[in-house]
């Protein structure tokens, strides 16, 4: 069929030539995590361009597959405590959970289900202690870690963003290797991707 019925099988462009294969890779190691918490819909403009694999945008053959429908998105809170958590800053402190379960309180969509006060996923703190560390001067004392992992608290976002040399690629816990083999890099990313970088292969 694909040889003799190219048009019906969506094998050609409007000009009739064979469609080029689409690169089906993720451009960031955090794409699977962002996709898991709903960013293929919440932040579609970024995700569908940079996290094609995690957002199921192509087949194993590299051609485009069914696109994610970014139209109506249910915009509710899954927990009655969401407004309280949002008020005390958990939309950023605990973004992985909150952006998935407290969409309404975190202002992730309008009544029509589209993006509104979108949280900048490139400007988050990767650890709940970032604010305290920043207030105690760690952004200046330990820039290698802080400016990469505590971007919000160190005001290292957007135009203020500074690029620093990569911090050492190491595990900070002797059990990281065993945990990684058990799948903790995916099931517990908040801890593992920061303290078990080497075992989770997020650096070289």
Mean of per-residue pLDDT scores for the chain: 71
User: Is the confidence at residue 202, as pLDDT, over 50?
Assistant: yes
Please tell me the least confidently modeled range out of 36-45, 89-98, 102-111: 102-111
CB 118, CB 108: distance < 8 Å: yes
Please tell me the least confidently modeled range out of 17-21, 96-100, 187-191: 17-21
Q: What is the pLDDT of residue 19?
A: 43
Task: Specify the residue for token string 């064979």.
Answer: 18
Q: How many CA atoms lie within 13 A of 3 on its CB side?
A: 0
- Averaged pLDDT, 121-138: 81
User: Is the confidence at residue 129, as pLDDT, over 60?
Assistant: yes
User: Is the confidence at residue 133, as pLDDT, over 80?
Assistant: yes
- Band (pLDDT 50/70/90 cuts) for residue 18 is very low
Q: What is the pLDDT of residue 20?
A: 44
- Band (pLDDT 50/70/90 cuts) for residue 5 is low
Task: Say which residues have a Cβ less than 8 Å from residue 39's Cβ, sequence separation at least 6.
Answer: 46, 47, 51, 99, 121
Please tell me the least confidently modeled range out of 27-41, 50-64, 82-96, 172-186: 50-64
Q: What are the residue ranges of helices labelled H in the chain?
A: 31-36, 39-42, 44-50, 82-87, 90-93, 95-101, 130-135, 138-141, 143-149, 176-181, 184-187, 189-195
User: Is the confidence at residue 94, as pLDDT, over 50?
Assistant: yes
Q: What are 143-194's pLDDT values in tens digits?
A: 777 777 787 888 877 655 554 444 567 888 899 999 999 998 888 876 777 7
Map residue 26 onto helix, strand or coil: strand
For a pLDDT cut of 70, what percent of the chain falls above it? 67
User: Is the confidence at residue 2, as pLDDT, over 60?
Assistant: no
User: Is the confidence at residue 53, as pLDDT, over 50?
Assistant: yes
């Amino acid at each position: 069929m694909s040889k003799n019925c190219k048009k019906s099988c969506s094998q050609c462009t409007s000009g009739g030539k064979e469609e080029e294969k689409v690169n089906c890779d993720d451009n960031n190691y955090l794409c699977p995590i962002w996709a898991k918490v709903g960013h293929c819909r919440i932040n579609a403009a970024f995700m569908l361009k940079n996290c094609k694999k995690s957002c199921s945008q192509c087949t194993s053959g590299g051609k485009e597959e069914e696109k994610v429908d970014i139209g109506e998105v249910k915009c509710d809170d899954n927990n009655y405590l969401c407004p309280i958590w949002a008020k005390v800053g958990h939309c950023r402190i605990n973004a992985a959970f909150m952006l998935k379960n407290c969409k309404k309180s975190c202002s992730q969509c309008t009544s029509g289900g589209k993006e509104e006060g979108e949280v900048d996923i490139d400007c988050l703190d990767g650890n709940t202690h970032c604010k305290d560390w920043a207030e105690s001067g760690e952004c200046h004392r330990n820039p290698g870690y802080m400016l990469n992992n505590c971007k919000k608290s160190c005001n290292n976002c957007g135009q203020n963003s500074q690029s620093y040399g990569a911090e050492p690629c190491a595990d900070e816990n002797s059990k990281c290797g065993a945990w990684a083999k058990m799948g903790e890099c995916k099931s517990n990313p908040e801890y593992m991707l920061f303290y078990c970088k080497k075992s989770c292969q997020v650096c070289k």
